[in-house]
């Protein structure tokens, strides 16, 4: 494990410690006089309260929903199961900055539902709307982690035994399934909480009209008027305080979690889950259809209609349809940027898979835990601030290159790759790994031959999430790019800023199209996995 630990710590130093140290230094050297003012101001207190409210609400909403969906979708006899499993992931395809718009377009005053049924959701612009949208968009992650957890942790034989002995489904759920899933649920909850603390685009667009400002929206405002050093330093200080607040909440949760993970059970080998009744299946199908229609169907439809409509505010009828928005996205410049974005996302996702696996392999050792905490810091750090840390730290040598963008993606998404893998990894037969090493296999060989096959669903999930997120990342790239390293989202947003909704919608549709290809490939890969006698197929990402 020495080499793995060295690699993990070296990467964490480059990706997390140095950028953070740079930020802390800037904040301390230039802003320590004003620290008390910043922390003591009523505006800061209200921002902290709002951020905590948002994150708590989003976690309480997203986790039960994600768990319920994962449990519902493990029933192999559920009609259209493969479709539901892919459809649940839809929100991952849409960049954050378009999600808020798509919800407003779908449900706010004069939105889609108001045109179709005369119904508008007036509370959408405010804390309730922000929490719901942020929650809905983290549900796919919860689902993935729980599904991976089900694949690697749950024990169908025990469940069937319980059912055979007369326990009802609710009892089985309460006494067997959920306790076994506890680590996965806790992992998912921590991740949703952290992501919600760092969420920016949705609070900015949907929360601002109701005066619901969070720490992240304050950071953005400080940077916008940050041409004087004071605003810039305050933005950095706020970002660091956001990290501290998140740590205060998350670290105890992680410590509690650590103890529970020491269960040493054998991996499940049985894919034959107890089937649910016909009635349950009908109810589940209807509920899934409704949920997906509300959370993905209508917002995506609103986005699609915006992308083909010639102007905002005109009815989306065939007379008003146009391809102009797509033509604006598909220029030679965007072609280059698109291929660059795809390559960057591929590189980032692949390296992240390695980094995530290494961090997970370190497991609960002290080194492993340090790495796990370190990489959570950059996940919660707002993209703009992380980019500033990288620029100050490495800008002298790397400014304007794709390398600095790649470093930003790796730093931001490492935890996102690590968590799903680590949620699955502690069920690994460590004996197998040990045996391989003792028999002379090097760490890479041991990982590839012993660990990878067992972890395939988790690895697929981690890779997919990282690839998608990197593909439409804009906050960091727009700060770090230079001539010759523009990413797709940067080029499109520079042409229109965020106001060009039609063009931005077309970008999302295009990105969705770009993603459907590799996703289909992954799906096919997952399907071949099902037929193997593996423990993991029931919860595989897209099997």
Output 185 or 501, the one with its CB closest to other proteins: 501
- In the complex, the smallest distance separating the C-beta of residue 425 from other proteins, rounded to whole angstroms, is 18
Closest to 15 (Cα-Cα) out of 359, 410, 417? 410
Q: Beta-carbon neighbour count of residue 118 at 10 Å? A: 7
**Helix residue ranges per DSSP H, 261-297:** 278-292
**Helix residue ranges per DSSP H, 363-487:** 366-380, 383-398, 402-425, 430-438, 443-446, 452-471, 477-480
- CB neighbour list of residue 384: distance below 8 Å, 6 or more residues apart: 219, 220, 223, 235, 475, 476, 479
What's the token pair of residue 342?
């795809």
- In the complex, the smallest distance separating the C-beta of residue 254 from other proteins, rounded to whole angstroms, is 27
- In the complex, the smallest distance separating the C-beta of residue 51 from other proteins, rounded to whole angstroms, is 12
Q: Is the dihedral of CA 329, 330, 331, 335 positive or negative?
A: positive
Closest to 296 (Cα-Cα) out of 112, 510, 88? 88
Output 249 or 403, the one with its CB closest to other proteins: 403
What's the token pair of residue 148?
């991976």
| Whole-angstrom distance, CA of residue 513 vs CA of residue 517 | 7
| Whole-angstrom distance, CA of residue 458 vs CA of residue 464 | 10
- In the complex, the smallest distance separating the C-beta of residue 367 from other proteins, rounded to whole angstroms, is 14
Closest to 390 (Cα-Cα) out of 21, 63, 52? 21
What's the token pair of residue 45?
């207190």
- CB neighbour list of residue 128: distance below 8 Å, 6 or more residues apart: none
| Residues pairing with 321 in the sheet | 309
- In the complex, the smallest distance separating the C-beta of residue 308 from other proteins, rounded to whole angstroms, is 13
- In the complex, the smallest distance separating the C-beta of residue 93 from other proteins, rounded to whole angstroms, is 22
Closest to 288 (Cα-Cα) out of 126, 83, 515, 444? 83
Output 18 or 144, the one with its CB closest to other proteins: 18
| Whole-angstrom distance, CA of residue 519 vs CA of residue 523 | 6
- In the complex, the smallest distance separating the C-beta of residue 201 from other proteins, rounded to whole angstroms, is 10
The C-alpha angle with vertex 380 and arms to 378 and 384, in degrees rounded to 5, equals: 75
Output 292 or 381, the one with its CB closest to other proteins: 381
Output 115 or 272, the one with its CB closest to other proteins: 115
Output 402 or 471, the one with its CB closest to other proteins: 402
- In the complex, the smallest distance separating the C-beta of residue 338 from other proteins, rounded to whole angstroms, is 16
What's the token pair of residue 92?
């991952």
The DSSP letter of residue 77 is T
Longest dimension (CA), the chain: 71
Q: How would you classify residue 80: left for phi > 0, otherwise alpha for psi between -120 and 50, otherwise beta?
A: left
Output 161 or 403, the one with its CB closest to other proteins: 403
Closest to 292 (Cα-Cα) out of 507, 86, 524? 86
- In the complex, the smallest distance separating the C-beta of residue 455 from other proteins, rounded to whole angstroms, is 18
Output 72 or 459, the one with its CB closest to other proteins: 459
Output 224 or 517, the one with its CB closest to other proteins: 224
- In the complex, the smallest distance separating the C-beta of residue 99 from other proteins, rounded to whole angstroms, is 15
Output 290 or 314, the one with its CB closest to other proteins: 314
Output 179 or 229, the one with its CB closest to other proteins: 229
- In the complex, the smallest distance separating the C-beta of residue 196 from other proteins, rounded to whole angstroms, is 17
- CB neighbour list of residue 447: distance below 8 Å, 6 or more residues apart: 357, 361
Output 168 or 209, the one with its CB closest to other proteins: 209
The DSSP letter of residue 321 is B
Counts for the chain of helices (H) and strands (E), in that order: 26, 0
| Whole-angstrom distance, CA of residue 180 vs CA of residue 173 | 10
What is the distance between the terminal CA atoms of the chain, rounded to a whole angstrom?
A: 32
| Whole-angstrom distance, CA of residue 184 vs CA of residue 153 | 9
- In the complex, the smallest distance separating the C-beta of residue 272 from other proteins, rounded to whole angstroms, is 39
Output 128 or 498, the one with its CB closest to other proteins: 498
- In the complex, the smallest distance separating the C-beta of residue 105 from other proteins, rounded to whole angstroms, is 7
């Amino acid at each position: 494990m020495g080499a793995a630990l060295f690699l993990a710590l070296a990467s964490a130093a480059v990706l997390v410690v140095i950028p953070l140290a740079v930020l802390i230094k800037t904040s301390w050297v230039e802003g320590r006089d004003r620290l008390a003012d910043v922390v003591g101001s009523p505006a800061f207190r209200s921002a902290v309260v709002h951020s905590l409210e948002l994150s708590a609400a989003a976690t309480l909403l997203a986790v039960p929903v994600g768990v319920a969906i994962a449990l519902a979708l493990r029933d192999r006899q559920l009609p259209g199961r493969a479709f539901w499993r892919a459809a649940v992931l839809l929100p991952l395809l849409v960049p954050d900055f378009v999600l808020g718009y798509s919800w407003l377009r779908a449900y706010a005053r004069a939105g889609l539902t108001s045109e179709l049924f005369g119904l508008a959701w007036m509370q959408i612009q405010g804390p309730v709307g922000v929490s719901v949208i942020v929650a809905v968009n983290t549900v796919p992650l919860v689902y993935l982690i729980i599904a991976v957890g089900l694949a690697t942790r749950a024990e169908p034989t025990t469940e069937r035994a319980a059912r055979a002995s007369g326990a009802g489904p609710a009892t089985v759920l309460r006494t067997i399934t959920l306790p076994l899933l506890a680590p996965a649920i806790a992992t998912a909850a921590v991740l949703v909480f952290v992501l919600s603390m760092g969420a920016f685009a949705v609070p900015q667009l949907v929360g601002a009209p109701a005066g619901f400002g969070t720490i992240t929206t304050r950071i953005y405002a400080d940077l916008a008027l940050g041409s004087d050093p004071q605003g810039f330093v305050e933005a950095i200080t706020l970002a660091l305080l956001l990290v501290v607040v998140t740590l205060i909440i998350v670290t105890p949760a992680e410590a509690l979690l650590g103890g529970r993970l020491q269960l040493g059970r054998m991996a499940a080998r049985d894919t034959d889950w107890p089937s649910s009744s016909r009635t349950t299946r009908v109810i589940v199908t209807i509920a899934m259809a409704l949920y997906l229609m509300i959370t993905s169907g209508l917002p995506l439809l609103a986005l699609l209609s915006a992308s083909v409509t010639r102007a905002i505010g005109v009815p989306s009828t065939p007379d008003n349809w146009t391809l102009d928005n797509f033509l604006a996205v598909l220029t030679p410049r965007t072609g280059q940027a698109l291929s660059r974005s795809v390559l960057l996302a591929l590189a980032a996702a692949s390296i992240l898979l390695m980094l995530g696996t290494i961090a997970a392999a370190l497991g609960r050792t002290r080194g492993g835990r340090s790495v796990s905490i370190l990489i959570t810091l950059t996940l919660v750090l707002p993209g703009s601030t992380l980019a500033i840390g990288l620029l100050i730290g490495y800008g002298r040598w790397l400014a304007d290159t794709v390398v600095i963008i790649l470093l930003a993606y790796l730093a931001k998404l490492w935890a996102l790759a690590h968590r799903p893998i680590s949620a699955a990894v502690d069920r690994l037969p460590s004996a197998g790994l040990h045996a391989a090493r003792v028999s002379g296999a090097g760490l890479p060989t041991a990982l590839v031959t012993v660990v990878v096959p067992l972890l395939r669903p988790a690895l697929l999930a981690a890779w997919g999430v990282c690839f998608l997120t990197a593909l439409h990342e804009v906050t960091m790239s727009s700060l770090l790019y230079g001539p010759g390293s523009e990413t797709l989202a940067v080029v499109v947003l520079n042409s229109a800023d965020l106001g060009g909704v039609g063009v931005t919608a077309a970008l999302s549709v295009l990105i969705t199209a770009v993603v459907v290809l590799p996703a289909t490939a992954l799906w096919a890969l997952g399907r071949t996995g099902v037929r193997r006698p593996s423990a993991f197929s029931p919860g595989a990402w897209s099997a």
